[in-house]
């Protein structure tokens, strides 16, 4: 989920673009106006690491749970040695997750369609003394050879892409046999319509995001994503929920305070962190494997 903005593999919005419709659990493309505004990643590119920016909600509110899941799967369950492994961040944005993975020891490559966000990510990594390779490009056409990476991850991205199957197929192609694919995205449920679209995006009294950041029709049910992974040869291993750890009413009060300007985005994220849960009705994460 993208609070204000987030990493995106979707190409920049053109005057005409592809919107998603659902038929039998699969995504098809039709020519129409793109329903989400992906150009905001260019507009907000210099605020990725700013606590007064909506982007800080990703770092302070979502990433502790997101990266906690990733770290547990990679180092505890799969026993992967980070310093001997290469990782691809598909939709790397300002480098929030890329830097976490680099600090863990992985050799990280990030790719994002926003040149402005890539520039911000490079600058921040350099200031932090981290060696991360960044490039401008899209998930639909990855500029890497087959079997280039030990793992790949695509977080806060899949609900924004033009062609879900193409992005997954390209990621599967560049993974080595036995490689790991980690993901998270937003479920298409009544709850996500209320929380993500209405409360967080459309209703100004509580909104944390810019208008048109998300389109509910582009959210993906876990079964749909598992089927899409299978179509490109990736075997889904599990799905877990990600949701607020705090009481919903207390979180709603903080949303109103944030909308009034009485609380920074960074403070809101820190007070309302997400955690792993069994409930997948809002956000969910998981991982898949490429067969040997």
Residue span of the structural domain in which 173 resides: 17-289
- Number of domains observed in the structure of the chain: 1
182: which strand partners? 153, 287
Domain with residue 55: its CATH number is 3.40.50.150
Per-residue pLDDT of 220-267, as tens digits, reads 999 999 999 999 999 999 999 999 999 999 999 999 999 999 999 999
Cβ atoms of 152 and 90 closer than 8 Å? yes
Task: Specify if 6 maps to a domain.
Answer: no
The answer as to whether 9 is a domain residue is: no
Helices within 26-175 (DSSP H only): 40-43, 56-57, 63-71, 96-104, 115-128, 164-174
Reported pTM: 0.86
Q: pLDDT (tens digit, 9 = 90+) per residue, 176-231?
A: 999 999 999 999 999 999 999 999 999 999 999 887 889 999 999 999 999 999 99
| In 200-282, beta strands by DSSP E | 235-244, 274-277
Q: Is residue 66 part of a domain?
A: yes
Inside any domain, residue 1: no
Residue 264, domain member (yes or no): yes
Domain membership flag for residue 155? yes
Q: How far is CA 143 from the centre of its chain?
A: 20
Domain membership of residue 12 (yes or no) is: no
CB 194 within 8 A of CB 131: no
Q: Which residues of 240-261 are buried (b: 16+ CB within 10 A; e: fewer)?
A: bbbbbeeeeeebbebbeebbee
Residue 10 lies in a domain: no
């Amino acid at each position: 989920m993208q609070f204000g903005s987030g990493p995106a593999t979707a190409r920049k919005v053109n005057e005409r673009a592809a919107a998603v419709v659902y038929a039998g659990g699969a995504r098809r493309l039709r020519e129409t106006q793109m329903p989400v505004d992906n150009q905001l990643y260019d507009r907000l590119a210099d605020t990725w690491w700013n606590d007064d920016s909506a982007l800080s909600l990703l770092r302070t509110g979502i990433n502790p749970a997101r990266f906690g899941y990733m770290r547990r799967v990679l180092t505890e369950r799969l026993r992967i040695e980070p310093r001997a492994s290469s990782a691809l961040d598909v939709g790397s944005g300002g480098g929030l997750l890329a830097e976490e993975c680099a600090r863990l020891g992985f050799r990280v490559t990030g790719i994002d369609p926003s040149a402005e966000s890539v520039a911000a990510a490079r600058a921040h990594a350099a200031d932090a003394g981290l060696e991360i390779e960044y490039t401008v490009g899209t998930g639909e056409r990855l500029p890497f050879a087959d079997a280039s990476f030990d793992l790949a991850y695509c977080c806060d991205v899949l609900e924004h892409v033009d062609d879900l199957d193409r992005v997954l197929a390209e990621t599967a192609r560049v993974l080595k046999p036995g490689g790991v694919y980690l993901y998270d995205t937003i479920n298409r449920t009544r709850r996500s319509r209320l929380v993500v679209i209405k409360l967080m995006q459309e209703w100004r009294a509580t909104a944390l995001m810019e208008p048109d950041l998300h389109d509910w029709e582009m959210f993906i049910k876990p079964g749909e994503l598992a089927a899409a992974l299978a179509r490109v040869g990736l075997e889904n291993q599990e799905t877990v929920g990600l949701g607020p750890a705090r009481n919903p009413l207390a979180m709603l009060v903080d949303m109103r305070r944030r909308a009034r300007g009485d609380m920074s985005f960074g403070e809101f994220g820190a007070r309302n962190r997400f955690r792993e849960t069994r409930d997948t009705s809002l956000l969910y994460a998981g991982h898949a494997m490429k067969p040997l």
